[in-house]
Amino acid sequence: MKLTKEQKQEIADQQSQKNQTKRVTSPELEKILYEALPVLDHGFVRVVDYMGDDTSIVQSARVSYGKGTKKVSTDEGLIKYLMRHWHSTPFEMCEIKYHVKLPIFIARQWIRHRTANVNEYSARYSILDKEFYIPAKEQLSAQSISNRQGRGDLITGDQADEVLKILKDDATRTYDNYEKMLNERFDGTTIDESKAGLARELARMNLTLNSYTQWYWKTDLLNLLNFLFLRADSHAQYEIRVYADVMLETLKKWVPITHSAFLDYRVGAVHVSSKGKKVIQKMAKGEKVTFEGSNLSKREWNELMSSFDFKEKIV
């Protein structure tokens, strides 16, 4: 990830600010506020603003109980209770705003989470940076046979080299044509003074989806947790998962108690159906349970067995 001199100066200026406030702050998050945390080859995640912390969640939850109940439980105990019993509203009282630089094809996947306020860099008004996401060789996988939206075995050798060459050549060629149509280079210089450039809103349509875009993404804590539950999961696409992993670390700095409860009761938890529960109950009693007698589909049975590291899988 490379930052321009202007970007580095902007970050330095933001981090040097000293503002007095009566609002709660998170000391660990303050340490990385505005910092560009690298993701992929040219991307980054920056926390640029936030509101509230763990105590804000507790404050919101306790307002319905009245003043006399602050000693009923610790903040940690209450947050764990809220997470464990799926009480969502108190987590909506905290908000966070990120500045994210990411490939366009990941942005289009990300935007499906329609629970945030988003303002994206506009290629109608500005020229996109001459930067493209090119996967590392260890991320070049074939299409999965069993999962229509997943990856299978790694592509290696000459085929991997050919794929990388195609990606680089296509991205470079289309960007060169983008500049040619604009009659302007990404650094702002004009190519041919005798020609008019095509409108930016039209020229952009020829760019490849691995071009980088940027946006500001603001959401409340509840919806951030929902996003991270899906996108920091091992089954999520690698390119969006690495962004979610970085954001998960910022969550730990921002609301450490909530982060711990989230890992315990969401990420590390196992959710089973009523049929699956009956299977586990019988197995716990020492009863022999077979797939044929479980009333589960083959996929449900295998998922249940995998969740508890049981060996009774059906091939």
Can you spell out the DSSP letters for 47-98? EEEEE--HHHHHHHHHTTT-GGGTTSS-HHHHHHHHHHTT--GGGGG-EEEE
Residue 227, pLDDT > 60, answer yes
Is 177 in a helix, a strand, or coil?
Answer: helix
Q: How many distinct structural domains can be found in the chain?
A: 3
pLDDT at 69: 46
Residue after which a domain boundary falls, among 208, 226, 249? 208
Please tell me the distance from the alpha carbon of residue 219 to that of residue 227, in angstroms, as a whole number. 10
The answer to the question of residue 87 being in a domain is: yes
Low-confidence winner among 2-16, 58-72, 159-173 (lowest mean pLDDT): 58-72
Give the H or E element holding residue 102: strand 95-103
Q: What angle do CA 100, 164, 121 make, to 5 degrees?
A: 20
Joined together, the tokens standing for residue 258 give 């909530």
| 117 and 30 part of one domain | yes
Residue 315 within any structural domain of the chain: no
233 in the same domain as 258: yes
Residues 258 and 290 in one domain: no
Q: Do 196 and 219 belong together in one domain?
A: no
Is the domain of 81 the same as that of 101? yes
107-162: per-residue pLDDT in tens? 999 999 999 999 999 999 999 999 999 999 999 888 877 777 777 788 889 999 99
Nearest-angstrom CA–CA distance, 298 and 281: 19
Q: Residue 35 sits in which domain range?
A: 1-133+210-269
Together in a domain, 152 and 196 = yes
Q: What is the pLDDT of residues 82-103, one digit of tens each?
A: 999 999 999 999 999 999 999 9
Residue in the block written with tokens 């970085």: 246
Q: Is the pLDDT of residue 11 over 60?
A: yes
* Interatomic CA distance for residues 151 and 235, integer angstroms: 10
Q: What is the mean pLDDT of residues 21-47?
A: 95
Three-state DSSP state, 7: helix
- The residue from 46, 200, 231, 299 that is catalytic is 231
Q: Are residues 120 and 161 in the same domain?
A: no
Q: Whole-angstrom Cα distance, residue 307 to residue 312?
A: 12
Query: If you write DSSP's letter for every residue of 220-289 in order, what string do you get?
Result: EHHHHHHHHHHHSSTTS-HHHHHHHHHHHHHHHHH-HHHHHHHIIIIIT-----HHHHHHHHHHHTT---
Catalytic annotation on 204?
no
Please state, in angstroms and rounded to a whole number, the distance separating the CA atoms of residues 250 and 191: 43
- The pLDDT tens digits for 175-205 are 999 999 999 988 889 998 999 999 999 999 9
For residue 169, the model assigns a pLDDT of 97
Q: Round to whole Å and give the CA distance between 236 and 149.
A: 10
Distance CA 194, CA 192 (A): 5
Quick one: 294 and 179 in the same domain?
no
Same domain, 113 and 224: yes
Minimum mean pLDDT among 5-9, 31-35, 52-56, 236-240: which range? 5-9
